[in-house]
Amino acid sequence: MTITSKVIVSLIIMWAIFFPVHANDTLSAANSTIIATFSGWYVYLVAALMLVCFLVAIIPQSGRLRLGAPDDRPEFSRASWFAMLFGAGIGIGMLTYSTGEPMAHFANSPDIIRGEVEALSDEAVRPAYVYTFLHWGFAAWCTYALVGLGIAYVAYRRALPLTIRSSLAPLFGSAMSGPLGHLVDIVAVVATILGVAVTMGFGVEQFVAGLHRIGMGDWLIDGDGSASAAAIITALLVLVGASTVSALSGVGRGIKWLSNINMGLSFSLLALFAIVGSGLFGLKLLGVGLYDYLRTLPEKTLTLFRPDGSAVAETLVRWQLDWSVFYWAWWIAFAPFVGMFIARISKGRTIREFIFGVVLLPSLMCFIWMALAGGTAIDLELSGTAAGRIVEAGLSDQLFATLAVLLDPGVAMIVSGLVVLLLLTYLVTSADSAILIVNTINGAGDDEGQRRRHILFWGAALAFVVGSMLILGGIDAIRITMIIGALPFSLVIAFIAAAIVKAVIYDIRRKHHGVPTTAYALEMDAAIPATPLPPEER
């Protein structure tokens, strides 16, 4: 299985490097077909995952079940647990899109396309946050939580290996230890590499834009404003080198400490936007945005735009494919990585604590970030202070453009330097977490996957995927490849949702009848000699 995974990823890299034109044409054609054919599948699948996730947490009998033996307690404190959840899950994307997403929907959203509000106006702000919160809220984190729960449940209650295939054991039983299980894990590995590549691609471009902002040289940027090939290679050498070293140190040391640093720097930057930026405006957006998001969540989640021959309908379909469907595919491709990582650090927590901790707190943090950072950018544009400098900047540069408008030049350079440092730590955290998770999947949950040669290979493979795609086709090439890679794993996630429901229902029934529900309890029960019943009770 490990060899097959490495061969597939290596072939993708060589195809992109040696046959860039053919690769780009083939991937673009495949992407157009897949995204148009399966857009409804992505939309309704994510809606179903959210429903299953919350039902399992809310129902008392299932919510109280613990991921482990009854006396197991969490390995990490809640603060460190949350820091690792956030850093591995959405840290890089949050920095890239904290201003980029609200600004994009401020300029173009379904409400604007239908002519209901005017672009870049006061009326366009509220709809912008409905779609921003839709994309960065429960949909993403419920997808992660369900995969993580499926893995953690059978790993800590059934003593199965900590890997993707184990999560399907409640449905397919011992068949998952054969070729079918190998196939599931290979699909998960490829999806993970491609999903992490998209996140790192955004991060690398923003990292290079930040270095350019703080005066590291014009060689970093090409004439069209994108990162130069030399800058991408240099950045990847630094980032993947550091992440490989961190991965060799394991979860308890490198990843834990980097995650805590991430949280400290993130809150410092957030405080700056709250105090110096448009804090009151951002808080108003947060409150109104949360109300609108929760009120319209069922409708927006289940909305699927369909062509009817009109120009407006075609534009709406294109918008949904470029935004919502892309995000659903991104979260699905990212789910084996984040889900495995969450499962690894969550032993001992109850299902309710696990789901609410994984879904509600990170979602709220994303909303706060988008409201304060994005709200400041929008306020600067509405007031005329920015004069188009933010909205016209590239996605990777919009956060730095906001800081440049908001602060004095010297202060802006210092704060931009801190953002670059924050990006560095987020990139390293995501990359080394991905390396460890891919090795855990390939090692079928045992220590074989943690050997140095595997860590070094996957570190180099991740760098080559990101570098080759960025240099030869830009971030769009990585997006296209990821959407294609996410499709097979979307079917795996649907089975994981069914498997966790079946496992929970069976354990509730076992508990009701006094039958052991964990491997630990079964071992203890078997170790105690049975006491014969007296004749009158036989």
* Tens digits of residue pLDDT in 305-322: 998 889 999 999 989 988
Cα 230 to chain centroid, rounded: 28
Of the ranges 149-158, 464-473, 522-531, which one carries the lowest mean pLDDT score? Answer: 522-531
AA letter at 414 = I
With pLDDT > 70 as the criterion, what percentage of the chain qualifies? 91
Measure the CA–CA gap between 484 and 125, rounded to whole angstroms. 33
Nearest CA to 16 out of 466, 329, 485 is that of 466
Q: Contact at 8 Å (CB) between 254 and 439?
A: no
Nearest CA to 146 out of 436, 437, 506, 493 is that of 493
Question: 3-state class of 350 per DSSP?
Answer: strand
The per-residue pLDDT for 449 is 46
- Is residue 37 very low, low, confident or very high in pLDDT (cuts 50, 70, 90)? confident
pLDDT in tens, 298-309: 999 999 999 888
Report the chain's mean pLDDT, rounded to a whole number: 87
Buried/exposed code over 110-142 (b: 16+ C-beta within 10 A; e: otherwise): bbbbeeebeebeeebbebbbbbbbbbbbbbbbb
Measure the CA–CA gap between 393 and 332, rounded to whole angstroms. 29
Q: Contact at 8 Å (CB) between 518 and 157?
A: yes
Measure the CA–CA gap between 455 and 448, rounded to whole angstroms. 11
Measure the CA–CA gap between 388 and 181, rounded to whole angstroms. 53
Measure the CA–CA gap between 286 and 56, rounded to whole angstroms. 28
Report CA Rg, the chain. 24
Measure the CA–CA gap between 41 and 285, rounded to whole angstroms. 32
Of the ranges 1-5, 163-167, 185-189, 258-262, which one carries the lowest mean pLDDT score? Answer: 258-262
- Whether the pLDDT of residue 24 is over 80: the answer is no
HSE-up of 100 (CA within 13 Å, CB side)? Answer: 19
Interior angle at CA 352, CA 347 and CA 353, nearest 5: 55
Scan for tokens 């805590």, then name that residue: 260
Calculate mean pLDDT across residues 88-109: 84
The per-residue pLDDT for 451 is 65
Greater pLDDT, 137 or 223: 137
The per-residue pLDDT for 448 is 47
Nearest CA to 269 out of 392, 261, 239, 2 is that of 261
pLDDT in tens, 325-350: 989 988 998 898 889 888 988 999 99
- Is residue 80 very low, low, confident or very high in pLDDT (cuts 50, 70, 90)? confident
Q: Count the helix, strand and coil residues of the chain and give each as a percent rounded to the nearest 5.
A: 80, 0, 20
Query: Which residues lie below 8 Å from residue 384, measured CB to CB, with a gap of 6+?
Result: none
Q: Around Cβ 369, how many Cβ atoms within 10 Å? A: 23
Query: Which residues lie below 8 Å from residue 531, measured CB to CB, with a gap of 6+?
Result: none
In whole angstroms, how far apart are CA 534 and each of 36, 188, 537, 538? 69, 54, 6, 6
Is pTM beyond 0.85 here?
yes
DSSP 181-238: HHHHHHHHHHHHHHHHHHHHHHHHHHHHHHHHHTTS-GGGB-TTSSBPHHHHHHHHHH
- Whether the pLDDT of residue 62 is over 80: the answer is yes
The per-residue pLDDT for 455 is 80
Query: Which residues lie below 8 Å from residue 537, measured CB to CB, with a gap of 6+?
Result: none
- Whether the pLDDT of residue 532 is over 60: the answer is no
